[in-house]
Structure 1
Amino acid sequence: MANPWTGEVSVTIDGVPHICKLTLGALVGLEEALGESSLVALAERFEAGRFSSRDVMAVIVAGLRGGGWQGASADLMRAEIAGGPVGAAQVAAALLARAFAVPD
């Protein structure tokens, strides 16, 4: 089960739940994959609604890797993500929100 207080989000892929988390290393990979120069630019891109399905997939892959997943992004191209495109976008949004949330 995902722990939202530590930035974790659960995503179900092909019927199997996985834990995602945007660790610092995962965020570095995400910046590189999306061609952003900083974490702020990355967050602003999503906040402004300037993201594509490729971007959503990159966030999920980064989160899965941060959660310990050993797969490749190509594995997700033929996988079923629970909730379809909307569910995937919700997972990506939750990952970004939790990665940049300031603790109370």
Structure 2
Amino acid sequence: MANPWRGEVDIVLDGETRAMRLTLGALAELEAALGEDSLVSLAERFEAGRFSTRDVLAVIVAGLRGGGWRGGAADLMQAEIEGGPMAAARGAAELLARAFVMPGEG
């Protein structure tokens, strides 16, 4: 079960619940993968609903890797995400929000 104090968000991949977390390393990987100058601009894109499926995939991969998963984008493309694309997008948005806000603040 995800620990919001650690910034974790759960996602179910192929029937297995996994915790996603944006560690400092995962955040750096995410910036590099998306070519963003800041994660704040990425978070703003999610808040405004202007994110792409590539953004969602990159956030989830970074979050899973921050949670200890050793896979990559190609592995995730083959996985079944419970709840489909909308659940993936919600999870990515929640993960970004938790990276910048303490539980109870937002």
Q: Which residue of 2 aligns with 1:88?
A: 88
Q: Distance in 2 between matches of 1:73 and 1:8?
A: 19
Please, which runs of 5 or more residues in structure 1 have no aligned partner? none
Residue in structure 2 matched with residue 43 of structure 1 by the alignment = 43
Runs of 4+ in 1 over 2 A off after TM superposition: none
C-alpha distance in 1 between matches for 2:95 and 2:37? 19
Q: Which residue of 1 aligns with 2:5?
A: 5
- Whole-angstrom CA distance in 1 between matches of 2:31 and 2:48: 17
Helix, strand or coil: the match of 2:80?
coil
| Counterpart residue identity of residue 40, structure 2 | V
The answer (yes or no) to whether the contact 2:5–2:102 under 8 Å persists in 1 is: no
The 2-side partners of 1:65 and 1:44 are apart by 22
SS in 1 for 2:10: strand
Q: Secondary structure at the match of 2:37?
A: coil
Q: Where does the alignment leave 5 or more consecutive residues of structure 2 unmatched?
A: none
Percent identity over the alignment is 70
Tell me the residue number matched to 1:66: 66
Q: Which residue of 2 aligns with 1:20?
A: 20
1:79 matched residue in structure 2 = 79
Distance 2:81 2:66 in 1: 18
Q: Distance in 2 between matches of 1:85 and 1:97?
A: 18
User: What SS does the aligned partner of 1:11 have?
Assistant: strand
In the TM superposition, residue 45 of structure 1 has moved relative to its aligned partner by 2.0
Tell me, in whole angstroms, the C-alpha distance in 1 between the residues paired with 2:89 and 2:36.
Answer: 19
How far apart, in 1, do the equivalents of 2:71 and 2:10 lie?
A: 16
Aligned to 1:97: 97
CA–CA separation in structure 2 for the residues paired with 1:90 and 1:44: 14
Q: Which amino acid aligns with 1:73?
A: A
